[in-house]
Structure 1
Amino acid sequence: MYRRPIYSMLVIFACIYMIQACHRPSSNQMSEEPIPDSISYNFHVRPILSDKCFACHGPDANKRDADLRLDIPEEAYKALKSNAAAHGIVPFEPKNSEVFLRISSKDTSYIMPPIATNLTLTATEIAIIEKWIKQGAKYEKHWAFTAPKKPAVPKVKNTTWVKNEIDYFVLDKLEHKKIAPNPEADKERLLRRVSLDITGLPPSLQMMDKFMADNSPNAYEKVIETLLASPAYGERMALHWMDVSRYADSHGYQDDNYRSQWPWRDWVIHAFNNNTPYNKFISWQLAGDLMPQSSKEQLLATAFNRNHKITEEGGVIDEEYRVEYVKDRTNTLGKAILGITLECAQCHDHKYDPFSQKEYFQMTAFFNNVKEVGLESTVGGPETFAKKPFMEISNADVQDILKFVNKQDTNKLIVSVMGDQDTLRKTYVLNRGVYDAHGEVVQASTPKSVLGFSEKYPKNRLGLTQWLFDKQNPLTSRVFVNQVWQEYFGRGLVKTSGDFGMQGELPSHPELLDWLAVDFMNHGWDIKRLVKQIVLSATYRQSAVIDPDKFNVDPDNIFLARAPRYRIPAEHVRDVVLSSSGLLVPTIGGPSVKPYQPAGLWEAATSGRGLLASYRQDHQASLYRRGLYTFIKRTVPPPVMAIFDASNRDQCEVKRLNTNTPLQALAMLNDPTVLEASRVLAARLLQDKGTPETKIITAFRRIVCRKPKEQEIKRLTTYYADQLNAFKQKANADKVLAVGEFPIDQKVNKTQLAALMGVITIIYNLEETITKS
């Protein structure tokens, strides 16, 4: 009887909600947004059609309704199959265009999109399409499939703000939006930002002091040059490429046994530190084995193509998995290098982009001739660590050709690489994408809507690389420039960095994107130069302070009136902790390492076979390597890394999620690495002379990379005094200090050590510590 009032209240609330819903304006009744004077198909009309119409009236012939196709003009203009007197679109005549009549209709049996789809057009969207038809319904080739041309640098009013060409494009848009950019960040925050962005590590105290004392006009540029010359730059750049390349230390699938691909990771770090031009960086990875007189280094680079998951399950069908590997390479090429969703055309023509299923399988033909099988061995077989074709790296190779490979022992080291068979394997269009449903035989080629494959190129992976770096290819340069921009601003100029197609976001600054893309090509695909351009810009140097008025106008900071503020990547969270505490072992390259991890995770999710059936934690120096080198078992990825949104490397990933969850706070409070780092840094500070306050200030500067404010010092010193008193009276210092394997100096005062360790743990748990701002 006590529940009846609750039910009554629920009924009342439901009635109120329904009444409010009935009086809520529909999408067509909402106030209209300003409509541009000149309507662009690419930037105003196509996004509407792509979202609301192309699923039924787009490129996929199998799903097309009424034989009406709206993504190309000749189809949209022609008479309807059901009514020869009617046309989908009649230029200049919206009242005679079935598209406009249908989308503006009130008749639920006639309106488009159909009611059953739950898709509706707003009044503004309908007005845009009407105005576009009135202006002639002119179609444009999709912006991303047109070769970029270098636009003129725009004129701006506030010329004193700009530092380089990037700023002209950004400021031009801000001035049109009547938004003023933020002032430059203070030197402490700017140094921390650029150090994290270029090396993934915080600046040292010595670097901070030197930069703060340097008042020369080029002080900031000198810091950038130092950071770009650091070996840590290659490690930082390699981290993104590990996600792109789906690098892991295990094969994946149920058994998920060990693989030895880490020498390829060493090559990637070396390539970035050596400033290998992007065209060579990609060409070697895709086709190093096919280069004239190819070297062992070029062959090692091709391991990129073999980083995909590989099965070792005994009951699988060999050909099914071989085809899966070929598709994976094709899909990775599409997403990582071309920025298009090729994989959507595996089973049928692409629903939104002009890629046919036939063109998809023509792309797979480039990767279909590898001398491999779907199942080479089961766990414990003769070639567990690498699958054929593979290369062996000898000690002589490391001393001569592959000096960058950090081979630490004399054991046999093999890496899966590329190598084509002598005879050409036939490539078929696979009906519905099924591995054994052979359709038409096809040869290697590329989507015509992007760029036709020239007859002068060989029909193999080497020819594919020549096609990719043809200056008329509209995607290759744009996509990489956008990825680099994303790494430094948290968001690409094209937000959907893996999809430049019809369903992708339009670029926020299209002219800037094209200027950077052409400039990048014209300067030899120089990656370090591109990075330097970005970080030297006034756009990058802005303060991250959020002005409420600007936030209301541009909450997502699309127009770049401030510096971005977001959590640093999972691996860099670890790097900041290790580096600031002095624990970091800066060795470059080598095998992956297994740091602290909760017991039983691997054992609970393993088949019980192979080298990775149980977790064997590393010790000594291996515990303190950068996050880049943490061992990744695909089926059980590192838990703390996963909590901070790291990829498990199942597939190509060009942009990570960036979440904020309570688990992240729990990890920072309880992770043995954080607690151990707090203890070690506390012990080192206690060895120095000075007051507790000076030690806390030093710790704060090492971790947060700025001098603390008076209020912060007061709170932290008060907390230290409270902790010291607690440990003197009743708390068990030994229990708190018993974390991690780094030895404790027995001469240190354990009460003071535990108290200062607590303060440092608090500093590590500040939001600012793991946030780029």
Structure 2
Amino acid sequence: MKARPIYTVLSLFGLISFFAACQSEKQENLVLNGEDQISYNFHIRPILSDKCFACHGPDANKREANLRLDQEESAFEALEESPGKFALVQGDIQKSEVYHRITSQDPNEQMPPPNSNLSLSEEEIALIKGWIEQGAQYEPHWAFVKPEKNLPQSNSEWANNEIDLFIEAKLEAVGLSPNPPAKPHELIKRASLDLTGLPPSIELLDRLANFEGEVSYEEYLDYLLEQETFGEKLAILWMDISRYADSYGYQDDNIRTQWPYRDWVIHAFNENLPYDDFLTWQLAGDLLPNASKEQILATAFNRNHKYTEEGGVIDEEYRIEYVLDKTNTFSKGILGITMECAQCHDHKYDPFSQKEYFELFAFFNNSPEKGYEGDVSISKPAKTPILWIEQEDTEKILSFINHQDTSKLSVSVMGELDETEKRTTYILDRGVYDAPTEPVDPSTPTAIFEFPDQFEKNRLGLASWATHQDNPLTARVFVNLIWQEIFGTGIVKSAGDFGMQGDLPSHPELLDWLAVDFMENDWDIKRLFKLILSSATYQQSAKIQKDHLKIDPENKYLARSPRLRLPAENIQDLVLASSGLLYPEIGGPSVKPYQPAGIWESASSGRGELATYIQDGGKDLYRRGLYNFIKLTVPPPKAIIFDSSNRDRCEVGRGRTNTPLQALVMMNDPMILEASRVLASRLIAEESSSEKAIESAFTRILCRAMTSEEKNLLSAYFEDQVARFENQPDQVFETLNVGEYPLREKDVNSKVAAMMQVIVSLYNLEETITKI
């Protein structure tokens, strides 16, 4: 018998684990909703959405038998094609045609039909049967219901704040207990990485020790939240959402100058601008009364999409593409819904019609921007409408912009056509730019929250609608994003899809409580971070217990702190900071770091300023990963290898893969080798012995003290490398000659080269680039 390939066995094991996890989740949900209670939202809707709504859902063009199972009224009506029969009859499975169809073996009767390649499992059929017997009670989709602030009853001794009450209740329900607290050095590093994206310095580690001295953990959080690096860390998330890039995309992909917008985002987070204002300024800062240049600059959020500079394109086609992008970014990044699915037809799963899509589109359809302003030969670094930033602006209201010379800056921002010039928005047949049908006025999906009559039908009114206390999505979506930033996975795993095809919240009551609490406290972002980081949930150890893996392998119930690899940008930041190479300047233009030769040129039209890659030098090589130049057709390869966004569209979350390419980067990237060389030369010169140098390197990089076993292992490796370089002296300079940081002649010796190898090994430890 032929041996079964190992990957086949692993795949089979993975499938078994997946189905076991699914069954476990169903059973757990049943327990949480009462031993015999079946919830439409948490048990039935996901089944119907996956298996039934394509033919019996919101899309009228694809609907069969005029039956909608997503709406209670339709589901209980008499069937048009079967007089006297009903799809659902409350409490009676014998009279419910749905039950007969899903249990039928007749291909002509069976639902879903065999040719759909969909089928229901025995567990799913049992859930639907039980639901009908219990009265087939429909519920509004959870995400479209205004959140309420209810706390579980508890006498918890473990909880630090309200978050922990929800977490503990769910852990008890699934048979888990929380982990013991993390060690102080783990918390110090964890909080620093979460709030600043940087490792704590040796001095800070020594000063904080066990939080038994002059600084408490709470005071440490306050200190981190006041650092300017807080804005840089959080800006990475918002750059992904706002699809920020330094080029226009498409074939020519020439340079653009949107970086003052990035400076504004960093500034806004550091100043703790309330989230409702943060959104309003970005959506409609130009429409505010007596709008300042700062408020207008914020509207660059809407203009970060791709632009074409290719001759021969149709202006209106691309202008429509730009408005579509604005609409989709708003719906995904701010509302957490997949409105783009309704561009060409009614949404197949969510209660959004194509008409409602273009009503939302209409808010963005009256900007005076053009689809085509000329080809790359007459390219401009910003497209109409443009905000011009003078030197005096950067000395006054825009002082946060890091601009070193006296030239004017240009940024693409929003503007609004005069009443006499305003466009009429039409529903576009199949979403095609040149196929207008009926006209529509600006409005929002009624299933979410009715657009109030008192709001102006422009982007400012849309911002007011989005941040209204009755809007069920905006606050939920943002607190979920922050939860995802900290714990790796949101309370709703599908952070960009709160609709019926999205994941159900693991802790729905906690999500609602956080959303309401966030709004009640003036949309205070820093307070939200501190609340989460102050919880006992956050402060748990990351140690994995056997029962964790058995009951909750994904750790969605948080019986332990998650182990998460750092984002691509923060891996760079950690290496630069721990080596002493980091240039800490805040803001300013993007920089071009080390990059393999030929990558840009192979993906370029050969025209424009970015046809050839010109690497920056000096201190610019040592800036944070946030400032790496993003060329849309060729994003920074190292960052992409570590799962960063390519920025060509709005993204609200990143994957975390584990590939051999990542190990190759960590072992061979010039920046990592250069950082290792620079740190090695400093430690050999400053420390009294190689043991002290190794100890210092270890603490700087891993933010903890070595164990005796680690000390012996690293010391032996160092001595081994010293012997190697002494036996092969020709390799010393070859090893050390990496990067542009000056290599002093006195540092070209076997000890520095050996210490460099030790430090490279430390940077390649899994623990180094993992938040534990």
Q: TM-score, normalised by structure 1?
A: 0.95
Match of 2:708 among 700, 707, 710: 710
How many Å separate the matches in 1 of 2:154 and 2:715?
Answer: 50
Match of residue 624 from structure 2: 626
Provide the residue aligned with 2:414 in structure 1. Answer: 418
Provide the rounded CA distance (Å) in 2 between the counterparts of 1:454 and 1:507. Answer: 28
Q: How much has 1:747 moved relative to structure 2?
A: 2.6
Contact 1:246 1:652 in 2 (8 A): yes
Measure the CA separation in 2 of the matches of 1:479 and 1:12: 45
1:690 aligned onto 2:682: no
User: Is residue 197 of structure 1 aligned with residue 176 of structure 2?
Assistant: no
Structure 2 match to 1:3: none
1:765 corresponding residue in structure 2: 764
Give the aligned partner of residue 303 of structure 1: 300
Which of 676, 681, 695 is the matching residue for 1:678? 676
Separation of aligned partners in 2, 1:260 and 1:76: 54
Q: Secondary structure at the match of 1:541?
A: coil
Which residue is equivalent to 1:65?
64
- Residue 730 (structure 1) aligns with: 728
> CA–CA distance in 1 between the matches of 2:291 and 2:93?
60
Partner letter of residue 758 of structure 2? V
3-state DSSP of counterpart to 2:747: coil
Runs of at least 5 residues in structure 2 that lack an aligned partner in the other structure: none
Deviation at 1:217, TM superposition (A): 9.5
Does 218-227 or 633-642 show the bigger shift? 218-227
Aligned to 1:530: 528
Q: Structure 2 matches for 1:644-683, cutoff 5 A?
A: 644-683=642-681
- 1:31 offset after TM fit, Å? 9.2
1:162-241 pair list within 5 angstroms: 162-212=159-209, 214-215=211-212, 219-241=216-238
Mapped to 2, the partners of 1:527 and 1:714 lie a distance apart of 45
Matched, 1:282 2:266: no
- Tell me, what secondary structure is at the counterpart of 2:619? helix
Query: 1:769/1:11 Cα in 2 relative to 1: closer, same or farther (>3 Å)?
Result: closer
Report the number of matched residues.
751
Deviation at 1:378, TM superposition (A): 1.0
One-letter amino acid matched to 1:440: E
Instruction: Using the aligned pairs only, state the percent identity.
Output: 58
Distance 1:223 1:595, change over 3 A: same
Q: 1:260 is matched with which residue: 257, 262, 277?
A: 257
TM alignment of 1:302-701, pairs within 5 A: 302-381=299-378, 383-422=379-418, 423-701=421-699
Q: Which range moved further: 196-205 or 79-88?
A: 79-88
* SS of corresponding position for 2:94: helix
Q: Contact 1:156 / 1:171 at 8 angstroms: preserved in 2? A: no
Residue type at the aligned position of 2:765: L
Instruction: Name the CA distance, whole Å, in 2 between partners of 1:673 and 1:12.
Output: 42
CA displacement, residues 475-515 of structure 1 (integer Å, 9 cap, x when unaligned):
00000000000000000000000000000011000000000
CA-CA distance at 1:107 after TM superposition: 2.3
Matched to 2:200, the amino acid is: P
How far residue 350 of structure 1 moved from its aligned partner, in angstroms, is: 0.2
Q: What amino acid sits opposite 1:141 in the alignment?
A: P
278-287 or 214-223, which moves further after superposition? 214-223
The aligned counterpart of 2:125 is 126
SS at match of 1:747: helix
Give 1:690 deviation, angstroms: 1.7
Partner amino acid for 1:467?
W
Deviations 1:123-166 (A, max 9, x none): 22112111211222111110000110111x21335x22111110
Partner of 1:112: 111
In structure 2, distance between residues paired with 1:12 and 1:524: 60
The separation in 1 between residues aligned to 2:215 and 2:263, in whole angstroms, is 33
Aligned-partner SS, 1:440? strand
Q: Does 1:293 align with 2:299?
A: no
How far is 1:464 from its partner? 0.4
Give, as a single letter, the amino acid of the residue that structure 2 aligns with 1:181: P
Measured in 2, the distance between the counterparts of 1:83 and 1:118 equals 25
Q: Which amino acid aligns with 1:757?
A: M
1:219 maps to amino acid? S
4+ runs deviating over 6 angstroms: 10-13, 30-33
- Tell whether the 8 Å contact from 1:728 to 1:751 is kept in structure 2 after alignment: yes
2:427 is paired with a residue whose SS is strand
Local SS of the residue matching 2:537: helix
Question: Over residues 396-416 of structure 1, what are the superposed CA-to-partner deviations in whole Å (9 max), with x where a residue is unaligned?
Answer: 100111000001112231000
Q: Any idea what SS the aligned residue of 1:507 has?
A: coil
Alpha-carbon distance in 1 for matches of 2:173, 2:606: 63
**8 Å contact kept, 1:568–1:771:** yes
After superposition, residues 135-146 of structure 1 pair within 5 angstroms as 135-146=134-145
Instruction: Please give the alpha-carbon distance, in whole angstroms, between the structure 2 residues aligned to 1:241 and 1:31.
Output: 36
SS in 2 for 1:380: helix
The answer to whether the Cα contact below 8 Å between 1:257 and 1:384 also exists between their aligned partners in 2 is: no
- CA distance change for structure 1 residues 628 and 119 in 2, over 3 Å: closer, same or farther? same
Cα distance in 2 for partners of 1:380, 1:587 equals 34
CA shift for structure 1 position 43: 1.0
CA contact (8 A) 2:288 2:460 kept: yes
Determine the structure 2 residue equivalent to 1:249.
246
CA shift digits 1:86-111 (9 cap, x unpaired): 11111121111111111112223321
The answer for the alignment partner of 1:4 in structure 2 is none
Query: Given residue 190 of structure 2, which amino acid in structure 1 is its aligned partner?
Result: R
Distance 2:506 2:606 in 1: 50
Encode CA deviations 1:703-745: one digit per residue, 9 max, x unaligned.
0111111111111111100110111111410000110000022
Secondary structure in structure 2 of the residue aligned to 1:311? coil
- 2 CA distance for matches of 1:401 and 1:162? 44
> RMSD over aligned Cα, in angstroms?
1.8
- The alignment's TM-score, normalised by the length of structure 2, stands at 0.95
Distance 2:65 2:427 in 1: 26
Structure 1 window deviating more from structure 2 (129-138 vs 675-684): it is 129-138
Matching residue of 2:78: 79
Q: Which amino acid aligns with 1:85?
A: G
Query: Residue type of the partner of 2:70?
Result: D
Shift of 1:660: 0.4
> Matched residues in 2 for 1:174 and 1:216: separation?
34
CA contact (8 A) 2:564 2:770 kept: yes
- Alignment partner of 2:661: what SS? helix
- Cα displacement string for residues 596-621 of structure 1 (whole angstroms, at most 9, x for unaligned residues): 00111111110010000000000001
Give the Cα separation in 1 of the matches to 2:336 and 2:211.
Answer: 42
Deviation at 1:689, TM superposition (A): 3.1
Residue 746 of structure 2: aligned partner: 747
CA distance in 2, matches of 1:76, 1:217: 65
The separation in 1 between residues aligned to 2:333 and 2:94, in whole angstroms, is 44
Query: Residues of 2 paired with 1:448 and 1:125: CA distance?
Result: 31
AA matched with 2:715: T
Judge conservation of contact 2:208–2:215 (CA < 8 Å) in 1.
no
User: Per-residue displacement from partner, 1:311-331 (whole Å, max 9, x unpaired)?
Assistant: 111121110000000010000
Q: Is the 8 A contact 2:77 2:86 kept in 1?
A: yes
Name the SS for the 1:326 alignment partner: helix
How far apart, in 2, do the equivalents of 1:549 and 1:290 lie? 55
Match of 1:51 in 2: 50
